[in-house]
Structure 1
C-alpha cells in the first residue's frame, strides 16, 4: 500500500532509524493476537515426552512452538482447543511443518507418557505430550503465570483439574511472542502464525 511505503520512508528519514527496525515495528503492530514479546520468559523446561524420553526446550528450537497446559481427562476445553489447533494447522498447509504443539499435562498422576501419546495424536500428529514430576509441572506453570487446581469429581474416587487455557506461542528461537486463547478465531492464529513462519520463525 502507498501509505505503508510512506510510513516506512518517514521512519527512515525523520527518525533516522534503520529501515529494518521500522519493518519490525510494523510487523508487531499487525499481530491479531496478544503480543507478549518481552513480557514472558523464553521457552525453557526439562520434562518427559509422550515416548518416555527426557526432553528440554532446546529439542524444539528451530520451530514455532505452541505451549498449552491441559490434561487427558479434561471434559471440554482441552479437546476443543486441540481440535481448534488441528484446524489451524490444516489451514497453514505446508507451513505447519515449521510448528510444534506442546501439550503439558497438569495431571501427571494419571497422564503417563503412553496415555498422553494416545490422547494427543488422536487430534494431530504435530502435538507432543509432555509430563513430569508435580514439582516440575508446578514450576513451569508459574514460569508462564498459568494456574491449575485439583478439585473433587462427581464420583467419590475421582477428581478434575481446573486450569487456565492460554496458548503461548514462541518463535523459532524460543522467545515468547504471542498469547492466544481457545476463544480466538482460527483465522487470527493462522494470520499470526503465518507471519512468524513466513519470516523463518523469528521476524
Structure 2
C-alpha cells in the first residue's frame, strides 16, 4: 500500500476522533472493553436493499445485536480481512451468535448489486447481510455515523478502488449505538462486549 493512500485513509478517519474521545469518557452500566459510544452516536436508521433484493430498514433487524461496517466487494485488503475476523468472533460466541447480524453496507453501489453482495458476504458468514441502495441513501448513512469514503481515480481498464474508513459500529437489540471497534481490535475484546450485549437483552 503506497504512502499517499495511507494518508488518505488516515484523513478519512479524522471525523471519528471526536466520537472516540467522548466515548472514552462515557460511563455505562456494562463494563465494555471497546470504545464506548453509548449516547454519542445516533440510533441505527436506514432504508436500503438487502442482498436478496428486498427493501429493508433498521426495524427489520430489531432484537438482534448488529455490527455495521462500510466496505465494498472489490476491496483488496481491509474488507475481506475484517469480515474474516468478524466470522471468527461469532464462531467464538457459539450459539449466542445466532442473535447477531453483520450489516455490510456497500460504498460502491454501481458494482455491488444485491446478487454480488449475496455471494460475497455469504462466503464469510451466513449471519452477514449485504446492503446497497442509491448513492444518496448510502452517503446519508455514512455521514450519520461520521464515516467517510472516496472513490479513487480509475485505471485504463476501468477498475478503481474506494478508500473508506474501517470502523465497526456495534448496536444493541434496540438499535442503540454502544461500542466502536476496528479491524485491529483484539478478537477477545469484541467477543467480550458482544457477549455483554447479547446477555443484557433489550433496553440494556
**TM-score range, shorter-chain basis?**
0.7 to 0.9
Q: How does 1:14-25 map to 2 (within 5 A)?
A: none
Structure 2 length normalisation: TM-score? 0.84
Tell me the CA shift for residue 201 of structure 1: 4.9
Tell me the CA shift for residue 27 of structure 1: 3.7
Q: How does 1:67-82 map to 2 (within 5 A)?
A: 67-82=68-83
Measured in 2, the distance between the counterparts of 1:76 and 1:176 equals 26
Unaligned segments of structure 2, at least 5 residues: 1-26
Q: Provide the residue aligned with 2:9 in structure 1.
A: none
Does the C-alpha gap of structure 1 residues 26 and 78 become closer, same or farther in structure 2, counting only changes over 3 Å?
A: closer
Tell me the CA shift for residue 152 of structure 1: 2.0
Which of structures 1 and 2 has the bigger CA Rg? 1
RMSD over aligned Cα atoms: 1.2
For these two proteins, the number of residue pairs brought into alignment is 178
Structure 1 length normalisation: TM-score? 0.85
- 1:140 pairs with 2:141: yes
Name the SS for the 2:146 alignment partner. coil
- 1:123 pairs with 2:124: yes
* Higher mean displacement: 154-163 or 140-149: 154-163
Q: Provide the residue aligned with 1:167 in structure 2.
A: 168
Q: Give 4+ residue runs of structure 1 displaced > 4 Å after superposition.
A: 153-156
Tell me the CA shift for residue 154 of structure 1: 4.6
Tell me the CA shift for residue 107 of structure 1: 0.1
Measured in 2, the distance between the counterparts of 1:77 and 1:202 equals 33
Q: Provide the residue aligned with 2:195 in structure 1.
A: 194
Measured in 2, the distance between the counterparts of 1:26 and 1:94 equals 26
Measured in 2, the distance between the counterparts of 1:26 and 1:144 equals 20
